[in-house]
Every structure is written in structure tokens, then in C-alpha cells.
Structure 1
Amino acid sequence: MPLLGRTQSAELELPAHQCPWTDGPRVVRPLGVFVATLAVRAGQWSGVAVFPTLPEMKTLLRSLGVCLLLGAGVAAGEPSGEESCQEPCGARTRQLAGHTYVFPILQQSAFVTSHVGIREGLALYHIPDVPVNDLQPLDVTLTGIQQTLDLSLSITDWLGVAGYGRATIITGTNADGLLSSGATVDLLGQVGGVVRLLRSERSGTQVSVRANFGYDKGREITLLPLINAIIETPQVTVGDLINGSLGQFLFVPSEETTANGGVYAAQTLGRMFSLQGSVLAEYAWQKRKPFDRFVGNRFEQKTHAVRFFFALAAALDLYPTTSVPVAVMGEYLFRTGRQEEFGRPDRTLKDSSLGLSVYYSGRANLQLGLGAVTVLNGEPQQGYGDEGSQRSSGAPTLSYGQLILRYIW
């Protein structure tokens, strides 16, 4: 009985034994073949009480050396389950039916993930026809910077918590911009939870619900009310502006507390394509504290707002089929609702946002890219017309770009 003939396979298939990491029969490597064959030969030798000859011993030693080399190569080429899972395991929470999803800019996702991310952005804000007393209306252009830090932690594969913090500073680019709209400093935080309702690898569908609480605190820096007060007090001096009550017109503190909840869905359309959508409802409690020049103190204005958001995002990832590590995403967001105005009729909200982003998709646990968003038909800004009457500007346009970096583990 030869050990290994030239036409014999270097592997033996043992159907009776199942391997823990596969669903098929166990495959025995060359070292196992050698041991099994050696045992058979030992039985033959013991049965006939004959020791192996010198040529047979040489053959056995050569076979042992070859088997040890082959076994070492196989062991080196097959990493353990834990090692081979390092990068994919960190991203499997955002993979569905063979497709790796990209987190959108204009909405949250349906996935329960653990990740940390930062977003650095530059904004351009254009406001047409801003009323400035009895002067000709101005077209104002503002610029700003924005920094966002977001964190998400998955408690189980279907339950997680998430939150983010954002700081935004917008200032006028010229004297007209600073005079009409001033500068705004805004701090925003939000925290909430996500619960996965459905996940189907077969259909490539996932559905989740999210609920969040947010707090927005800012301070508007507006020069226009101050100018109106100066006009009505012609004897004012520079010292009065710095030390007196007129300086209070420069700063208008504002706060907003929000509660929202929505349904989020993701659908895989092959290895390259995917869709994400959401429907969100939000209620806001708002406070604003302008300065009353007659009373000589600030007074509080309380308003409320009800908002509804409808978002859709489509993504194309070239990496799975072309090995080009580029993913492209297009987004659309529509917002509507009702905004209560202090001392004026309520206003209907109606604006749209368009987004386009490009990402590096070569690593499944890393999201790195650039995104751009344009907000159309934004909320008009309030100004002063003739004799101090309040008037609204034209519909503003907000455009901003972001550098996005997220790590998923």
C-alpha cells in the first residue's frame, strides 16, 4: 500500500465529521493523511511482526518533511476567524445583502452602529432684498464655519444610542452684511435612541425608528435695532453705546428645545446601488429675548413650531464590481410645517435641500468624503422698513460644503 501515489489527492474528505466553521464535510490536510497512513502501516507491521525496511523508513521521513512544510503553509494562509474578521466585522452593522451603506448628510440612517465622526464645513448664505429702514433694500452675503462631532454606540444588534454636537458661526462678509443681518453664534446638541424593527438579508431591507431630544442655544448679534435706537436718540454718545443700555441691542439670546421621532428605511438594489429614506416629525419650543428700549430691560418671546421632514438618498458604490474605491450619493430633503410668530400671523414652512457627496469606499469601516448641500426657499429674515415697521426679506439660499470623516468599529 503506497503512502501517496502521483494520482492520489493530497486531501481526504471525511463526511462523518463536520467542521465547526463550515456546513460541509471535514477536509483533512496532508499532515492528517500522513498520520492516518502511518497508523495503517503500523497496524500492518504489528500484525505480521515485521519492522519497516530502510527504504520504507526513508520514504516515511521524506513524506513527513513534505507534510510539515505543506501544513505550515496552510496554517499561515488561513488566519483565525477573529483575525480575518477585524475590518469587515466593524462595518457589518452598515452592510446589507452584500452592499456597504454610506451615512447620508441630510438624514440619519436606519442602521444600529458604533462609530465616531467629525464634519468640518464652510457655508455661504445669500439673503436678497433685506429691508434697512428707509434705505434701498440690500442683497446680503454671509459666510460661516461649522464643526460637528457625532457619536453612536450599539448596545445590541437592534438597539443603540446616538448623539451629536455642532457649533456654527456666521458673520457678514462686508459692511452691508454686518449691518443688516449681523453675526450668529449657534451651539446645538442632540441625543436619542434607535431601535431596529426589521432586517432581511434576503430582500436587502432594514427598517428602524429613532427618537431624539435636542437643545439649541445661540446669540444673535444684530446692529439694525441698535441703529434704530440711535436714530431715535440723537444725543447719544460713544460712552452711552459702550456703557449704557443701547449696547443691549447688539445681542439677542435665543433658545430652542426640540423633540422628534421618525421612521428610517434602507433598501439594497444589488451590490452597487442602494436607497435610504425617512419621515420625521418634530416639535420645537422657542425663546427669544430682545431688548425693550422703553422698559430698559429684556423681555421674553415664546413661540412654537411644528416641522415635518421627508428625505431620500440614493448611492452608487463602484468598488464591489470595478475595484475603484469611489461611492457617490445624491440626496433630497423637503421640510414643511408651521412656525408661530410673535405678534404676527403664523408662517408656513416650505423649503427644500439638495445634496451631493463623494466618498472613498476602499475600507468598509471608514467613511471619508466631501459633500455639498444647497438649501432652497429658506426662511425669510426680518428687518425694519419705513418708520420702524417690520418687514421680511426675500427667500434666502444657503450653500455649504463638508469634509466628512467617520470610523466604524
Structure 2
Amino acid sequence: MKTTHTRNTKTISLAALAFFAAGLSGSVAACEVKIGAVGPLSGPAAQWGQAIKGAADFVAAEANEAGGLQVGNEKCKVTVLAVDGKYSAEGAAAAGNNLVSEGVKFVLGPIGSPEVTGIKPIAARNNLLMMSDSFAKNAIGPQWPTVFHLGPGPSAWADPIIKVAKAKFNLTSVLMIGPNDQAGTDVADVAGKVYEKNGIKVGLEYYQRGTTNFAPVVTRILRAKPDAVDVASCPPGDAGTVIKQLRQAGFTGAIGRLGGPGTDEIMRATGGPEVIGDFYWYEPIFIDDKIREMGTRYKTLLKADPPSNNFFYQFSAGARMVLKAITAAGTATDTAKVAAALRAMPVDDPNLGKGLWIGQEFFGINQELSLPYGVGLIVKGKVQPVQRMAAATGK
């Protein structure tokens, strides 16, 4: 049975107790590698945080079932401490400080610009190695040598998706909507420029995070008469509400989502693909039989269904890379040495396939993990097969 212990906002996941089930000796148990998992575990973006926690639990269980993680001459158990970042800078900063107090050196997450912005100073001061995900323009950079980026962001993949959407839905104008914080404004700025590069006129609309009634925003959108509305980095719950209210108000244009995943939640919130109509989105992971194997493996190891959000697969690949780098560096304390091993490591996940380290052109540092992704489409209320795209090069 899977057990959790909650203290304050911190959840110490004991999924890693699969380590003990494997019959490892007490001498090995004395060696421990702690992985922090930070993301929103409450609120409209909770689906993303649960994906991060699930990925950490899964990769820890994988390592422990294999006898522990090789660190130098020792085999170490891997444990997970999950903390709610609350999708805010303050929440993520508090989460980072909590993890530091527990002796954590490696962090999976957080996600979104507010959380990543809040925790980066903590990571820099305490030499934390982070594998985070944010579409912020400064998500990573040379000044944060131990902060890595899952993704990549829209600077790498927006162009091919917009080209597909423009051809399919005959777009000449788009209105981008997002929260009025860095999570919304950075994505709108980056993706907006790519729309414009493709000859599509861009309008912007922002809302206060925590809004539940989008009627005034919907009224302004209808007045602008765009061909498409892009809900970009809106959390899945917000995006579903916006789309539902747009359709109820009579908007018939295409809906885009050049932000994080959450299509299943959006369809649930809106009432299904028939209500959504025409929709295009960035799918971080192209689901195939190799990916489905991870879901089956998760059930075997953790006796539960895997998180429904596809960030789970992406963060699992990132967590695997971090653990391999710890083994390659031969240390679980010197994060600079682990970071050097990580950035020199070829990207090749057993389930997600071959990828690339990118980011030099946009961020000034090659610490952005790029893996194959997908372009999703709903056309006239019918879900189309996701189109697989090779790992984005960032150029």
C-alpha cells in the first residue's frame, strides 16, 4: 500500500519504499539521495504539479527496484519530498527553503514562470540542481548554471505549430489571452512574435489570476473579432472556462493553446470536443506504445494509475537524466559536478526517444532538454491523430 506523511505543506512520498520491498540491506539504506518535487498541488494548475510528483515517485521507484542508485561505490535509495509550490513565486520560494532545510540537493520542477522565478534565487544560493519547466524568457541562463529546463519553450516549437494551424484554419488574426503575470506575458510575447512572423496579426488580453468569471474578457474578445483565440499559458482549469464561455457567447473561430498540456481537462471542462470545435495545441509528448509502457510500469511499481497530464512523461525523462548524471559524476552532493555531467550527456530516453540539448541561441546556455513532441488538432469537433514532430532544435 502506498503511504504518505504530510507535514505543513510538505508531502514526504514513501513510494520509494519499493526500495525496501526489493529486499535491500540496512547498510545500503544508510545511503540516501533525496529528490525534491515542486509544483502546484492545489488550484487550477494542480494537474501539472501532480504530474511532477508522479514523475519523481516513478523514477525513484525505478531506481530502487533496480537495487538503488549507484553513487560512487555505494548503492543509494532514492526518496521523494513533494512540496506544493502553489503556482506562485512566494509558494515556490517557500518550497525551496523547505527542501534546503531537509538537505535536498536535486529538485524536479517547479513549473510555470511564477514558481520558477521564485525558486531560482534559492537554487543559486544553495547550489540546488533543478530540472524545471517554464516558458519565461529568462527560464534559464548562464547566471544559473545548475538550473536546467524541460520543454522546450515556444521559442523552439511555436513556429511549426502555427504553420499547421494557419494552413488548417486560414488564420489571419489571433487574440492571445493569459494571466497578467510573467507566466502569461512572457508566453504571449514570445509566441506572439512567431505568429507575426507568419503574417498573423496579434492582439493581447490579460486577466487577474484567480478569475472565475471571464464574461467581461469574452465580451472584449468578441468585439475584436479575431480568427482565433490562443489561451496560451492559462492553467487547464482556466483555459476550459474561457473556451466554454467563448463558445456560449457565440465565438466560432479556432482556439489555440501554445502553452502547457491539459487537453483532457479542457475537454472535460467545456463538455467535449464537439463544444470546442476547432482547436490546435502543443502536445509535449507524442503518445505511442513506448510511452504507454511507462503507464503500465507505473501501475506495477506504484499500484496506482499514472498522472493523467502528459507533463508526467516529460518530467520522468528529465528525472531519469538527473539520476544518470549523479551516477556519472559519482556524487550526490556536488551539484556543480553533476550539472557538468548532465550537460555533457547525450539525450536518449528508453521510452521518449532521442532528443537534444538546446537553448544557446535563445537563453545563452545549452541547458534546455528538447524531446520529440506533437501537434494536436480538433477539426469541426472531431479529434485528429496527434502529429509527431522531431525534437526542436531551437533554431
TM range (shorter): under 0.3
Higher relative contact order (CA 8 A, sep 6+): 2
Q: TM-score, normalised by structure 2?
A: 0.25
Greater helix percent: which structure? Answer: 2
User: TM-score with structure 1 length normalisation?
Assistant: 0.24
Structure whose residues are more often strand by fraction:
1
Of the two, which has the highest radius of gyration? 1
